[in-house]
Amino acid sequence: MSGKLLENRIKQLLSENLKYQKSDLDLMTRIWYDDLKIIRYGRIDEGFTAINMLNLLRDGRLTSWDSATRCRRKIQRKFPQLRDESTYKGRKDKEATMRLRNQFY
């Protein structure tokens, strides 16, 4: 997926629902759900398994977690109204603590 298309998709989701501003997991769940609807032509039936989804992820057919969260950060930096301030402050505090300890994941 092109960068501009992903950026537009994420910006729309962030503006539609506060839960996508608060949680990368919620955001990625929605993005992957939308990816699957496109890949499966709108049909996600009982025959589709977790293994099928993991194979799509492995093969690069689903949106990359890193790309999407990087894009979310870029959008929220540019449009602060699209971020939840308490979540943003929590992330910044955690980052500051990790820098002090010189520890990163």
CA dihedral 30, 77, 22, 89 (to 10 degrees): 160
**pLDDT at position 104:** 59
Rounded Cα gap, residues 68 and 74, in angstroms: 10
**pLDDT at position 45:** 75
Give the number of domains in the chain: 1
Length of the chain measured in residues: 105
* Distances 75 to 23, 44, 65 between C-alpha atoms, Å: 15, 30, 15
Tens digit of pLDDT at every position of the chain (105 positions): 578 999 999 999 999 999 999 999 999 999 999 999 899 887 777 788 999 999 999 999 999 999 999 999 999 999 999 988 888 787 788 888 888 887 655
Which domain range does residue 15 map to?
3-101
